[in-house]
Amino acid sequence: MTVCTGNICRSPMAEIVLRDRLDAAGLGDQVVVDSSGISDEEHGRPVDRRARDILAAHGYPVGDGHRARQVRATDLPARDLVLAMTAQHARALRRLAGSGDVADRVVMYRSFDPAAPVVAPGQPEHVLDVDDPWYGGPENFETCLAEVEAAADGVVAHVRAALAARDGAPTA
């Protein structure tokens, strides 16, 4: 699950890119990818028009049928990986999850980008925030998509390894 603020820009963009990359890697039928938001302010709304435009310009599906929804505590135990778009989202998700295994599944999305800064345990995660394009123009949505794409292959590699470990197969 990818998670941002309102579930109309960053998290659906990441959901769409990850689905595309997982399908290309032959994992699409083994993995469910969805998205949600910390806030309910955009509940029921489609993917933002500007995000749709950028996705389409880059050859991705535009999220037809997507409706924004707020993440619930009951969503988290069913997810093997919860990808937060910002440190603020990660903190909110960890509070929602409580302590233990479920909270440990909350990971910063950009931590999978090989060019992103490495954040040691206990260090501030905000350097891994995916830029919020909401208040900007097309260039901000381009930046957001670039950050999402830069981490997507790392997420796919992580998922592939997790599936192999679950199934007892060697990782490649």
Write out the two tokens for 111.
């931590």
Annotated catalytic residue within 9, 10, 50, 129: 10
Residues 73-111: b if buried by 16+ CB within 10 A, e if exposed: eebbeebebbbbbbbebbebbbebbeeeebbebbbbbbb
Q: Is 9 a catalytic residue?
A: no
Annotated catalytic residue within 4, 19, 48, 52: 4
Q: Is 4 a catalytic residue?
A: yes
**Helix %, strand %, coil % for the chain, to 5?**
50, 10, 45
Annotated catalytic residue within 40, 53, 132, 153: 132
Q: How many whole angstroms separate alpha carbon 126 and alpha carbon 86?
A: 6
Q: Is 132 a catalytic residue?
A: yes
Write out the two tokens for 147.
């950050």
Q: Which residues are catalytic?
A: 4, 10, 132
